[in-house]
Amino acid sequence: MRKNLITVILVFVCSFSLIFIAGCAKEQAVKSDVELTQAQPTTEEAAALKEQALKEKALKEKILAEAAAFQNIHFDFDNYDLKPESRELLEKLADWLLEHGDFEATIEGHCDNRGTAVYNLALGERRAEAAKAYLINLGVAGTRITTISYGEELPADSRNCEAAWAKNRRDHFIVFPKKQ
């Protein structure tokens, strides 16, 4: 009698488990099939979407290539005043940013390796902020411009001579699409 009871319980548990597993699998498979059917575009729609995506990608690449052409501006030793040639470059950048309202810019301030690390970080920040202020005065929204100082940490030229130091005293510009 005890064997019969154990057998009945075992059969019941196995049957219940089999029904449970089979029922869950069917429900998931049906749901996935419905989702897949709804998400499939027609062949014409897929071709149009692909063509539109390629056009948008080509346009963004062209715009980013234009933006990458912006040159660094340079500063005199221990100074963050904008030179006349720097103002001309910033005016070109401002015109471009005003024409392309869906882009933002980051200005990276850099220094040569003379001075303390703390001093150079502060000077790099003042250089980046001077360029930002000039762009804002030209009509670019301040919310579209961020600044960062790298001080002496990312030199353009690692040599220790005046020619290298002059290259390192700079603001570098990175232009990128706004985050949606």
Q: Give the CATH number for residue 160.
A: 3.30.1330.60
Total number of residues shown for the chain: 180
Kindly give the residue spans of alpha helices, DSSP state H, lying in the chain: 2-39, 43-68, 84-99, 117-137, 162-168
Q: Are residues 29 and 91 in the same domain?
A: no
Spatial CB neighbours of 176, under 8 Å, sequence gap ≥ 6: 64, 67, 103, 104, 105, 106
Q: Are residues 86 and 156 in the same domain?
A: yes
Band of residue 179 on the pLDDT scale cut at 50, 70, 90: confident
Please count the structural domains in the chain: 2
pLDDT digits (tens, 9 = 90+) for 99-147: 999 999 999 999 999 999 999 999 999 999 999 999 999 999 999 999 9
**Structural domain includes residue 66:** no
Name the residue range of residue 15's domain. 2-40
**Structural domain includes residue 53:** no
**Structural domain includes residue 7:** yes
Look up the pTM and report it. Answer: 0.67
Task: Specify the pLDDT at position 54.
Answer: 80
